[in-house]
Amino acid sequence: MEKTRVMIADRDTRTAEYTEYMLGSLGYKEITRLSDCSNLVAEVAKAKPNLLLLNIELDEKKGAENCSSVIIHTHKIPVVFIIEHTDDETLEQATNCSPYGFLMKPYEKIELFSVIQTAMHNHKSRMALEESEKRFRALTKNSSDITYILDENLVIQFESYAVENTLYYKQGERIGKPLSDYIQPEDAGMFSQFAKRLLENPTRKYSSELRLRAEPGSWKYFEIIASNHLQNPAINGFVLNSRDISDRKVAEHQISRISKAVEGASDAIIISDLSGKSLYHNEAFINLFGYTVEKFNRDGGLPLIHTDKEVLDSILEFIRQDISWHGEVEMTNPQGQELLVMLRVDSLLDESGEINGMVSIHSDITEHRLIQEEISKLEKQNTALAMAVTASHEINQPLMILHGNLEMLEMKMPREIKEKHIKYFIKIHNSVDRIQNILEKFRQAGSIEFDDYTEGTQMLVFNQSEGDTD
């Protein structure tokens, strides 16, 4: 009581003095009397009392009402009206100001004490309620979640401030309208079933995902959790808490598309941590290397497929520095089959920007490399063939000269000498004919197997004695 400051605003000096006396006897120490109340609001703001006892007949009744309203709602001070008449007009005007109590002249100390105690208690409760409501408004105003209260016909009775930031409607403008008017028609059946379950099982909470229309005409996905409070007199309706999950739905759609693309890719793709354990790999990876995620991690991770562990260490060093790596590497599968792979590895970052993994894309180029080697071999053969064809043209001319001179030599050589050395002439003719046959085949650009043409070829030796038979 000693800390409670009381102001008495009453032109009736005798009543004001007696009231001050009773307050003193009740233990109140800080008491202010005000008889000139022409500037009551300013005096209250200056004195800052904890309670105002106000004669409602001070000046005009209407003026007193206005003053008390400002004091109660602006300065947060409880006001108790002192009234001399109990006529209907006076009581109605006083009641409209929502005072904390009434004192009917004349009043005694026990009445004064009771009214003051009740007023202070109610004021404390009202301030606590206002603070609670203020916190609630602050929470709902800054929250992206929308709270609805629907009646038994699913008509909106309340919607929180978040509707302005999320769906761009003015708070309260949709009150009295069915929520179904704002639900995507394709989801209407789902909403009906949702409401039916709420009615049939009032003690349970239910959740669903529905699309609600935003003011510009777009649709947003919401996760809705609802409960039945029809039996609660303070609510008398369904309470729906709605969270905007549009961004999550877009992300899920993108992930789904990426997953389908990854699963449909011909390249083997793996997402792994820095220790080499697989977090995910696609079907192509399983087909190429023969490992499921479980078997891959159980048997050792990335070192299983890398033939050269130094190369793997080098790749990991690049990734830890957030540097991409690509190149050809030798790998193996569980059957020991060696594979030549074109590999690209990139780092993965977590939400804080730290490197926590990597994604590796493997393209099997084993068969491609074999084809390249076969093409290279054919190119070398074609080069040899081209050289051989060119050489055949170069060789053919001197060969023709040799053949012609050999025939002239035979024509002019004496018969006895020719007969004596006939075997050499035969060998020369055979060799020339054989060379011409080979050159002709070169010119036809057929397949060359040099062993076919060199088999059986013998060197001619002209310094043998006449007795030699071979």
Asked if residue 441 belongs to a domain, the reply is: yes
Domain count, the chain: 4
Last residue of a domain, one of 326, 342, 364: 364
Residue 465 within a domain? no
State whether 133 and 156 are in the same domain. Answer: no
- Amino acid symbol at 345: V
Note whether 162 and 247 are within 8 A (CB).
Answer: no
With respect to residue 462, please indicate whether it lies within any of the assigned structural domains: no
Residue 434 covered by a domain = yes
Q: Measured in whole angstroms, how far is the alpha carbon of residue 255 from the centre of its chain?
A: 8
Q: Within a domain: residue 255?
A: no
What's the pLDDT tens digit per position in 149-169?
999 999 999 998 889 989 999
Three-class SS state of 360:
strand
Mean predicted confidence (pLDDT) in 424-447? 74
For the ranges 38-42, 77-81, 83-87, 180-184, the maximum mean pLDDT occurs at 180-184
Residue ranges in 48-108 assigned as alpha helix (H): 61-73, 88-96
Q: How confident is the model at residue 269 (pLDDT cuts 50, 70, 90)?
A: very high
Closest CA to 15 of 160, 97, 112, 93: 112
Q: Does pLDDT of 285 surpass 90?
A: yes
pLDDT score, position 1: 60
Residue 304 lies in a domain: yes
Closest by CA to 14, choosing from 33, 31, 37, is: 33
Question: Domain range for residue 356?
Answer: 266-364
**pLDDT band, very low/low/confident/very high, at 87 (cuts 50, 70, 90):** low
pLDDT of residue 226: 94
| Beta-bridge partners for 146 | 242
| CA 24 to each of CA 4, 6, 32, 121: distance values in angstroms, whole numbers, following the listed order | 12, 11, 11, 20
Domain CATH number, residue 172: 3.30.450.20
Same domain, yes or no, for 130 and 21?
A: yes
Residue 331 banded pLDDT, cuts 50, 70, 90: very high
State the helix-helix crossing angle for 40-47 and 61-73, rounded to 10 degrees: 30
Residue 7 has pLDDT above 80, yes or no: yes
Residues 353 and 438 in one domain: no
What residues contact 182, with CB distance under 8 A and at least 6 apart? 167, 174, 212, 213
Q: How confident is the model over 217-228, as pLDDT tens digits?
A: 899 999 999 999
Is it the case that residue 12 has pLDDT exceeding 80? Answer: yes
Domain end position, chosen among 364, 386, 414: 364
pLDDT of residue 458: 46
9 and 112 both lie in a single domain: yes
pLDDT at residue 330, as a whole number: 94
Residues written for the chain:
470
288, pLDDT greater than 90:
yes
**Shared domain check, 317 and 228:** no
pLDDT tens, position by position, 186-239: 999 999 999 999 999 888 999 999 999 998 889 999 999 999 999 998 899 999
Query: In this structure, are 169 and 148 located in the same domain?
Result: yes
Taking residues 377-386, report their average pLDDT.
72
**Over 70: is that where the pLDDT of 459 sits?**
no
Give the CATH number, domain containing residue 129: 3.40.50.2300
Note whether residue 225 is domain-resident. Answer: yes
What confidence category does residue 465 fall into, taking pLDDT thresholds of 50, 70 and 90? very low
Please check whether residues 346 and 439 belong to one and the same domain. Answer: no
Burial of 329 by CB count in 10 Å (0-12 exposed, 13-18 middle, 19+ buried)?
Answer: buried
- 93 and 160 housed in the same domain: no
Which of these ranges, 21-35, 51-65, 97-111, has the smallest mean pLDDT? 51-65
Say yes or no: 124 and 152 in one domain: no
Residue 182: its pLDDT value, please?
95
Q: Which range (50-54, 83-87, 110-114) has the least confidence?
A: 83-87
Same domain, yes or no: 182 and 244: yes
- Whether residue 466 lies inside any domain: the answer is no
Cα separation, 289 vs 294, whole angstroms: 13
Tokens in use for 388? 């051989």
pLDDT at 59: 46
Degrees (nearest 5) of the Cα angle 119, 132, 165?
140
Supply angle C-alpha 217, 223, 224, rounded to 5.
100
Q: Is the pLDDT of residue 135 over 50?
A: yes
8 Å CB contact between 24 and 31: yes
Arithmetic mean of pLDDT, 258-277 = 86
First to last CA, the chain: 150
The answer to whether residues 215 and 318 belong to one domain is no
Residue 329 shares a structural domain with residue 381 = no
Domain end call among 364, 386, 401: 364
Q: In what order do the strands lie in the sheet with 355-364?
A: 278-281, 268-272, 355-364, 338-349, 325-332
